[in-house]
Amino acid sequence: TGKILYSVVLDPTDKDATQSVSLQPINEFIKNNGERFVLGDDPRNPGEQKIFSAAPYAVDGREGYVYIVLAGKKFEEVSGNLLGQYFAKLGIGATLLTMIFSAIIGLLAIWFLTKNLRLITRTVRSFHDGDLNARIERPEESDIEVFAKSFNNMADSIVGNMDKMKSVDLLRRELIANVSHDLRTPLSILKGYIETLQMKRDSLSESEKEEYLQITHDNVDRLSKLINQLFEYSKLEAEQVVPVKEPFSITELSHDLIAKFKVIAEQKQVTLQLDNPQENCMVYADVSLVERALQNLIENAIKYTEPKGKVTLSLNKKGENVEINITDTGTGIPVNEQPFIFDRYKQVDGKTKKL
């Protein structure tokens, strides 16, 4: 029946202890002669099965089985300790592997996330070291597009400001050159007419004296006006001033210029003449800038024309436009120097001609 008649491990007073075990595992164990293990009931732990050993016996007409549970309490304690140590070591190993793997993943993530930042850092250092062309290429493809574009815009602004500072410094030096160059013309005219009045005051008629004095007076006004305009012209060259255009008579301006340079031309024995159509030619431009340009051209033409030569200021009306030409009988400008005629104060060979 499987009833437990005697036990060396069970407490007889324990009413909850198992009083019997199943015979089916015992019969199966005996049947296969113990060649394979079979799980049987554990009297100390009802409901659990463990490895056992069993053998039949017969004493004084009584038959039964000797039933021994092999996995005893000590075995369980040892097994529990070993299993606990195994899982502890397994946990430590798993923790270390997880930490190493996490560190590798973290380093890779940091490297990837800071790749563009390192690129910006290198570019900033290059810009700091003097490479003003250093820019972040394709900023729209960067993970930090806003910072990349901001740096490029900042670099462009810095370079632009540096160019403006250089332009201002160049403007300051050119202004000094402008003062000496542009003031020379009215001063030369003043000197010429004053000297004429001094030398020929007895032979000049009153109308001629009045004319010469008026020209002198006009050039004093011109000199004062020119001084005030020099700064405006410098701003114009720095693209800070827009020309003030207005309609005016280029014919009248041409007559005034011929009258102003008449004495200087006579002193050099150069014929100065005006070739213009009968009708009055009107143009729409900045009168001060046009006058300054024509005045400089006439002055240079007279200066570099040999005695008994001729300088001609001609006006040719072409439809709604007026073509202005200043020609002289001088040696002219060599072909190889003509590309440089608009360079400021360019001198040909240092002697023969000034552009």
In this predicted model, what pLDDT tens digit does every residue of 296-352 receive, in sequence order?
899 889 988 999 999 999 999 888 899 999 999 988 878 888 777 776 555 565 444
pLDDT for 353 equals 42
1 and 103 in one domain?
no
**pLDDT average, residue stretch 236-244:** 63
346 and 322 in one domain?
yes
Mean pLDDT of the chain: 79
pTM of the predicted model, to two decimals?
0.42
- The boundaries of the domain holding residue 109 are 76-113
Chain center to CA of 319: 49
60 and 102 in one domain?
no
Q: Which CATH number is 333's domain given?
A: 3.30.565.10
Burial of 235-266, coded b for 16+ CB within 10 Å and e otherwise, reads eeeeeeeeeeeeebebbebbebbbbbbbbbbe
352 and 275 in one domain?
yes
pLDDT for 352 equals 44
pLDDT for 260 equals 87
279 and 294 in one domain?
yes
pLDDT for 273 equals 92
Could you read off the pLDDT of 135-184 as tens digits, one per residue? 777 777 666 677 777 878 888 888 888 887 787 677 667 766 766 677 77
Position 16 pLDDT exceeds 70:
no
80 and 108 in one domain?
yes
Helix (H) / strand (E) element for 7: namely none
93 and 34 in one domain?
no
Contact 215, 197 (CB under 8 A): no
Does a structural domain hold residue 23?
Answer: yes
Token reading at 96? 């270390």
Position 272 pLDDT exceeds 80:
yes
Sign of CA dihedral 208, 210, 211, 217: positive
Q: Which residues make Cβ contacts (< 8 Å) with residue 14, sequence separation at least 6?
A: none
Does a structural domain hold residue 61?
Answer: yes
Quote the number of domains for the chain.
Answer: 3
Tell the burial category of 181 from Cβ atoms under 10 Å away from its Cβ (0-12, 13-18, 19+).
Answer: middle
β-pair partners for 237: none
